Structure 1
Amino acid sequence: MATGGSSIYKGSDLIHDLSCSKCEENDLNTEAQHFCPECEHHLCNKCVKIHEEYFKKHAVYGRGDLHKWATFSMDRCDQHGKELEVLCDDHQELCCSVCVSLNHRLCKSISHLPDRAKGFHEKAEFRQLSAAVDKMRNRLDEMKKAGRKDQAKLKDSYKKIVAEIKFLRKEIDAILDQIEKATIEQLDNMIGDLEKDVNDDVVKCVKMNDQLKNMMEKINQMIGKRKETNAYIGYRKCTAKLTQADNLIGT
């Protein structure tokens, strides 16, 4: 398939991927560089200037916007914009001259459309087309309505789930607040008890330290005065106090 501004030679004829619609009306073969979706015309550089003078408000797209050239024309090739001329019987495809040159040159059977169309509108398959289209359109409408309902249900489900999540979040927050409060209260009580125990030990240490100091001072005084009995008593009391101190430190 030719792309962009390319063209293909077939014998002495120059075949463009898209030809200017206005030039074709005058039996001229000019490559299209622009497209007007409102007129459904492909235009060359010369014809687009004339078009813009008459239709200043029409949006015209150049080759840089080929994806915007798509349009629907009953007798035009969707791919190349040229007039449909034949039917490829091998592939059952409607073709323009470019289609034939590019994709169907080796096909065995190609029919001229006017020949294939003779009397076709009288055939049952053509007469049944309108009913088949209406039936399909009704099915599509039903599918669309069902899709709309599904969309509405999805939105409702989403809202309900979000509301449940938020409600659950509030319940979890409340439970966490209670746990936090109870834990802090337990911690306060535990720290208070520990501080009291530590403080009691500190007081005991200070008191026992002072007692041992005083005892040793008195014992030393007794030895100097040779009061053996009192010295012995002091020794017994002092060793007992040391045992108490050792037990205190050991705990």
Structure 2
Amino acid sequence: MADSGSKIGEDDEVPGRVMENLCQPCLSKDKETVADKFCSTCNEFQCNDCSNVHNVLAILKNHKLMSVKEADVASFSFKMKALDLCDQHQHSFEFFCEDEKKLCCSKCAIVNHRKCHSVVEIEKIAGKITSQISTLGEKLKEAKQSAESIARHIRSSKDQLAQDIKEIQEEVRRMRDEVMRMFDDLEDSVVKRAKTLRKETSTNLTKKQTQNEKHLADVTSYLETIERIFKNGTPVQKYIAEQKMESNVNALYKTIKEECQNLEKVNISFQFDETLKLPPLPITEYVPGQLLLKSIRQGDVYSVNMVMKLTPVSSIDLKKTGDDIDEPFYTGIDFLPDGRLVAVDNRNKKCLVYNEKLEKVGSYQLSYRPFSVVVVSEEEVAITNGDGYNIEFLHVSKCNEISSSRTCEVKTKYYSICLKDDRQFVVGTIDEPRPVRIVSLTGEEHDFSINFPNKSYPIDTSDCTYIKSSDKVVITSTDEHTVFIYDIKTNERVVVKDDQIQEPRGAAVGPSDTILVCSMKTNSIVQITKTCQILSSYKIDMEYPFKVCVSRDKSFLVVANSYIGNRKMQKFKIST
């Protein structure tokens, strides 16, 4: 288990520190570090680590570095960038008109504010009035986050447009190929039928041909007989032949004439129905579909992806007590529908129940080391077995009594588990090329229809969750400092990698289907939008946050950590 590690240093924030005394490169990374140096060339306050770059890059070696204490007024005045000058007269501000709430230079005070009742010197009031600079700084930070969100959204939208065009092209080609397959089938069918008709017609024509050849032979024979008798026969012979042959010749003549009049020219053709006849113009003139451009208002985008706020509700230390053989280590937690919490203790082989105040109200001894737990219904939970190939179902009553109800045998060893729907789980595998699989509530196992990279996750290096509304699987990779989001419908993968995500572990689905990930090394919970953008990061008062779960109504969040000697479980109220 990930229960080892060294303590992360104390928070560097110092009460009362002003912005000019903080390292500005660090601030751009959302990190507050005391400034040790001031570079008049860079026009920045810097900490020792950031200022050391001047000794590395030749282009920076001529920059003028000085200690913060040596930074003179001229440097600061230069940093003001004319903020201290009157726009109208270009004189330094010396007065403040309390009546009109305006800064004044000496000329302004005389010309524009001589009738005002209270025009005071700035030097006399500057130190007496509570400074609002920190509030302005917070507003600017929030504005910066919003602007960055807009930039990310625009980049994402452009990428999506490119992807949409690709999908349109693929759809048209797919339809074309489908139509071609249909016409190939049509060709085979029509040609087959045409050949059958040709065979039947040819048979009839052959019969007629045979009969006609017989008639032709009879005609030829009769002509030869008549010619011989006409040349060599006696009058008596001619008379007899004439009487004898007259009826036969007349019958043959009649038959041949009738057949000649009834001759038919046979041909085979194929004609499309009216619905399939194409016009004599390019198909682009009659596009069989519509090209749609759908636009969502910016306000709608950000109303869906609201930055959540966490307010501490309760916290408990997980200490060894009673019959525990080791310090508790909660590798799985989940909310019951009524707000109670169920947890599994990997070290002490237990399943426990906590009330809304994080007071332990129930406990059940297991025969194996549990890995993870998921609530199946109002009074049933499922637990993955760390020692065997099965998933155990426990009954948790309203009175906090826990009992085993059934066990499903499986062929793969699973770590994390969450609900896919009311009949199936999404489960994270251990040392398998398929990092996630689907298991039914009766133990039937099958795979997602997506292409996973050829990578397996050893024990304690990954976690998974599932977003039901968008049919997406989320996988954290602790070693790669990465969160992978797989879209089941499109078979696409998005890689979320950022300095705010360091050794990600537990994952859960939060408000507006945002993804909440435990970043162990930064001691924070990172919020990722369903469009795969980092929305925010929350520092929490525990080291190595390991597992996270969210209540059914998305109003509460619980986190448990993995740090030896200082294990905790904390509950937060979620607001937006």
Same fold flag (TM > 0.5): no
| Higher Rg of the two aligned structures | 1
Q: Which has the higher helix share?
A: 1
TM-score (norm 1): 0.44
TM-score (norm 2): 0.22
Q: Which has the higher strand share?
A: 2
